[in-house]
Structures are given as C-alpha cells and as structure tokens.
Amino acid sequence: MSQIHFLVERALRFRTELARISALQAMGALTTLTLPWLAGQLLGGVVEARIGSTSTIVLALVALLILSTLFKISGAMVSARTSAVILAQLRLDTYRKIQRLPMKFHNRSNQGELLSLMTYEISRLSDFLTNTIATVPAMVLTAAGAIVILFVIDPLLALLIPILVPIFYILLRFSGRKLRANATKMRDAETEVFNKAEMHLEMLSATKAFAVEDTQFDLYTAAIEDARRKSALNEQINSVISPLVGLIAALAALTVILLGGLQIGEGGRTPGELFSALLYAALLTRPIGQMAELWGRLQLARGTLARLQAVITLEPEQGYDRGLLPDTVRGALAFRDVHFSYPGRQVTLRGANLEIAAGEVIAITGENGAGKSTLVNLLLRFYDADQGQITLDGTPIENLQVQALRRYIGYVPQRTMLFSGSLRENVVFGCPQASDEQIAEALRLSQAEAFVADLPKGLDTQIGDHGVRLSGGQCQRIALTRALLLHPQIIIFDEATSMFDLENEALFVKAIKGALSGQTVIIITHRRALLALADRIVKVVDGRFEEVAAS
C-alpha cells in the first residue's frame, strides 16, 4: 500500500471532522472571492461619483468581511479541536498496536524511535491532516474562482495562468524531490537525538561514576549538530521556494496591471474592472503559495507515514484474538523436544525435554547464558519454539489465547520492573482489585512488610522519578509481592531473590514454603537457599535439561 493510500485511509476515519473544516474554509473562500469584485465596483462608484450605489457596496463589503472573518474563526476553532481528536486517536491506535506486537519486534526495535513516533511525529501528522489536507478544497476553490473571474473580466488576463502553471510545477517538483530526500535524513537525525537523550539520562549515574560527562556531552553534541544541519537544509529549501513562488506571482500581477492599464482609455477596461482584476490576481497568489507549502509538508509527512505504516501493518502477536480460554488449569507443564534459537543467534535449546507435574516445585540451574530465562520466554510465548511442543495440562500452549495463558502464570523477572508511582500502584499492577488484606499477606510473604511499614507514607510512598529510591533487594521484594498477589497456578521466580540478604532470603524460603501449596513453581536460581524449596533440580546443559541430585 502506498503512503498516500495509507494517509487517505487514516484521513477517511475522520471524514466528518475534516469535511466540517473543509466546508467552513470553503465558505470562507467563497465569501473572500466576492470581495475583489465589490471593491472594484466601489472604486468604479467613487470614480464616477455614484454616491447611492457606493453606500450599498460599502454595506455589502462590511457584511461580507464580517462573514469571512466568522468563517475563519470557526474554521480555526474546529480545526484545533479536530487536530487534538485526531492526535489522541492516532496515539491510542499506535500504542494499542505497539502493545500487541511480539517481543521479537520490541527486542530488535529502538525504544527512542518508537517514542518519537508515538509523540511528536504523530502530532505533526495530525497537524498535517487538519491544517493542510483539510484546507485543500478552500485553496482549490479560491484559485479556480479567481481564474474564472479573471477570465470573465478579461480573457487575455486569464491567459497568464497556463503560462504560470508549468513554472510552478517545475519549481515544486524540483523542491519536492530535494525536500523528500532530506526529510528522511532529518527525521533519522531527530530520532537519534531522542535516543541519545533517553540513553544518556538512563546512564546518568554511570556517566558520573566513570566521570565521562565530557565524552557523553560530545556524543550528544554530535547528534544535535547533525539534526540542526539537516533541519537547516530543509528550512533553506523552504525559504527559497516560498519567496520564489511569491515573486513569480507578483510579476504575474504586475503584468496584469500593465496589460489592463494599457487597455484603459482605448474603450477597454474601466478602472473598477482593472482594480478587481488586480485584486483577483493578488488573491491567486495566496492559494498558490499555500500549495507550495502543502507540497513541502507532504514530503515531511511521507517520512512519518512510512514509519507509522511500517508499525501499523505489522502482524500482531499470534493468539491475541483467538484460542482456548480454559476456566481453570492444574499447572502441569511439558517441554517435548524443544528446539529454539533467537533470530540471528546460535541455538539455545536443542531437543529440550522436561515434565513438570501440577503442584511441583522445580529448580532450574545452569551456567550464565545456558538458556534458563529462555525457557520462561517460551512458556510466556514471548517467543515460539522453532520445533517441538510445550504443553499446559496437555494442551499445546499455542492453542491457548495468549493473554489467558499469561494470566495463569505469575512471573518475577530477573530484572525488576517498577514504574514511577506509588508502591501500592506497583504492587497491584496485575491485580487492581486486590483487597488490603490480600496485599498485606503478599507483603508478608515477600518480606517487604517491615520496610514498607518504615516508609513515611507506607504503601502510598511514591517511588521512582518522583519519590524515594528503593534498594535492589527492596525492589525485588516489591516485584515478588506483585506476583504473589495474583495467586497464579504457575509461578516463576527468575533469580527473584538474587539481591536478598541471606537472613531475609531464609525468611522468605520459610514463609513461602507453606504458602505455595498446590501451585506449580519454577525457580531459576544459582542460590542454595532457594534450591532447598525444590522437589527436584534440573540443570540446563548444552541446550537440554538434565536432572541433578539435590545436595
């Protein structure tokens, strides 16, 4: 699908709003078109000293000026409102789509690029739809109206048009090509600034600790400089084109005056008609200038459209809209001859077999990079096995609706993911309806109870950007609370206590032992204390699972 087709498809979803803006602007254009004619009549009346007719014309002129202003005001108001609606809708659509794209996509895509697409690129596009596309009917109406009226006043004057059109065409084609080529580079450079800013802010403490502020500053300066150069080139092209279009249009208007002026007195034009013709010629320059601008903006919008199209047309994760929705699960898992490699990487799992009975507590160990977390990635269907099968209670997991599958699994990832907000919001992330009692119980099990109680506002303490920072071990305890609160049938701890002190880890093991009865538990760990929880220990070796005797 071409970008223009894609744009039309997006625009059609807002056809009512865009039609309203177009209609208001078209009515404004029609009103404006009558003004030069009336002005000519007024001049004629003044020259010929027809006082009676001039007062009627003045009244009509004032009324039409007011009307034209009213159309302009309401057009601008509707346009601003519509732009905001389109912006919100496009952002929601894109966010929804990005949420549903597979982890495969997210792991290889650039966060800064997605962020810039979802925020300022989309806002430019909504501006483009309301401020540019919706003004096309008014532009065309004004240009066509002025040409027709010029032709009626004097066919000779209107002959200027076929001479002007090819000049404009060549000019716009040339500038369009240059603008388009630069637009992609400009956007890439701007995205790089976004990326660098995001990355550098995230790395700020490391930057300070390694005292590399100057190096980081130089990298950021290079990105800023590149974006500035490319944006300056764009402005330069635009700043040549618009005045050039204006100059050509002004020269055309001058020709109108000369041709018309010569005809006065030879029984040709009246001064009033000449004045009207001059005003229509001047009026014609406005839509022509706007068209040049529209052309430039379209070249910029095409870059955004290409990126948006690339995201919107991607296939969402499989299993979102279809699949089995079991009412309950027992939690029996099986990996049968599972082979898997990440795109472009060496084989991680090669014929892995593992049976986990419902309610069993199994520990998975293995060297760094052996493939322990990969097992979770496959179980949660962040990735699909290349070969073999994974089943839950005997049903292949790809036959289940993917969100239903994930809701049966509580997952404490290796890298805790807390967001800036209150502790309570972080804890109830997957279970917003949890009661205070349930939260208290989960906090008790994860050994978070005491440190949360010590915070000045307890669970209502803000953490992250706007509040207190938590220690690594405290973050892990909150991540554990979040998963325990779900009471999932299957729970996975991926190095979930790696930052716990020994005493608290022992307390956690003691507390959790009784609490997990009936749940299938997968513990990925190198820590001895946690191994004590397991019924069985399995090691990942050479892409396969090997049973290990508990020591």
Ligand X SMILES: Nc1ncnc2c1ncn2[C@@H]1O[C@H](COP(=O)(O)OP(=O)(O)OP(=O)(O)O)[C@@H](O)[C@H]1O
- Interface residues with ligand X (CB under 6 A) are 107, 342, 345, 348, 366, 368-374, 414
Nearer to ligand X, 345 or 469 (CB): 345
Least CB distance from residue 486 to ligand X, whole Å? Answer: 22
Q: How far is the CB of 372 from ligand X (least distance, A)?
A: 4
| Residue 370 Cβ vs ligand X, minimum distance, rounded to whole Å | 4
CB of 369 to ligand X, least distance (A): 4
Quick one: 356 or 524, whose CB is closer to ligand X? Answer: 524
Nearest to 248 by CA among 146, 357, 168: 168
DSSP states of 269-280: --HHHHHHHHHH
Between CA 430 and CA 474 the distance in angstroms is: 19
Residue whose C-alpha is closest to residue 310's, from 160, 480, 114, 149 = 114
Q: How far is CA 72 from the centre of its chain?
A: 31
How far apart, in Å, do the first and last CA atoms of the chain sit? 62
Token look-up 């060297």 returns: 367
The answer to whether 113 touches 191, Cβ cutoff 8 Å, is yes
CA distance 125 to 281: 32
Shortest gap between Cβ of 101 and ligand X (angstroms)? 14
Find the shortest distance in angstroms from Cβ 407 to ligand X.
Answer: 23
> Is 478 within 8 Å of 425 (Cβ atoms)?
no
Distances from the Cα of 101 to the Cαs of 1, 105, 163, 320, 460, in angstroms?
20, 6, 52, 10, 33
CB 38 within 8 A of CB 64: yes
Q: Which residue lies nearer to ligand X by CB, 103 or 247?
A: 103
- If the CB atoms of residues 75 and 366 are measured against ligand X, the closer one turns out to be 366
In the sheet that holds 544-548, the strands lie side by side as 409-412, 490-494, 520-524, 361-366, 536-541, 544-548
HSE toward the beta carbon, residue 321, CA cutoff 13 A: 4
- Whole-number minimum distance, CB 541 to ligand X, in Å? 11
Query: Toward ligand X, which CB reaches closer, 187 or 350?
Result: 350
Which residue number, 494 or 505, has a Cβ lying nearer to ligand X? 494
Q: Whole-angstrom Cα distance, residue 18 to residue 131?
A: 10
Q: Residue 428's CB: how many other CB atoms inside 10 A?
A: 19
Q: State the nearest-atom distance from the C-beta of 493 to ligand X, in Å.
A: 13
- The distance of closest approach from Cβ of residue 141 to ligand X in the complex, given in angstroms and rounded to an integer, is 55
CB closer to ligand X, 47 vs 103: 103
Is the Cα torsion angle 428, 434, 436, 442 positive or negative in sign?
negative
- Closest to ligand X by CB, 291 vs 376, is 376
**Residue that the structure tokens 């080529």 belong to:** 181
Nearer to ligand X, 104 or 444 (CB): 104
Q: How many helices (H) and strands (E) does the chain have?
A: 20, 12
Q: Which is nearer to ligand X, 345 or 466 (CB)?
A: 345
Q: Least separation, in Å, of the C-beta of 455 and ligand X?
A: 30
Taking the complex as a whole, how short is the minimal distance between the CB of residue 373 and ligand X, in angstroms? 3
Q: Which is nearer to ligand X, 147 or 523 (CB)?
A: 523
The helix, strand and coil proportions of the chain, stated in percent and rounded to the nearest 5, come to 65, 10, 20
Cβ atoms of residues 410 and 486 within 8 Å: yes
Whether the CB-CB separation of 432 and 486 falls below 8 Å is answered with no
| DSSP states of 329-347 | ----EEEEEEEEE-TTS-E
Tokens 């979802």 found at: 118
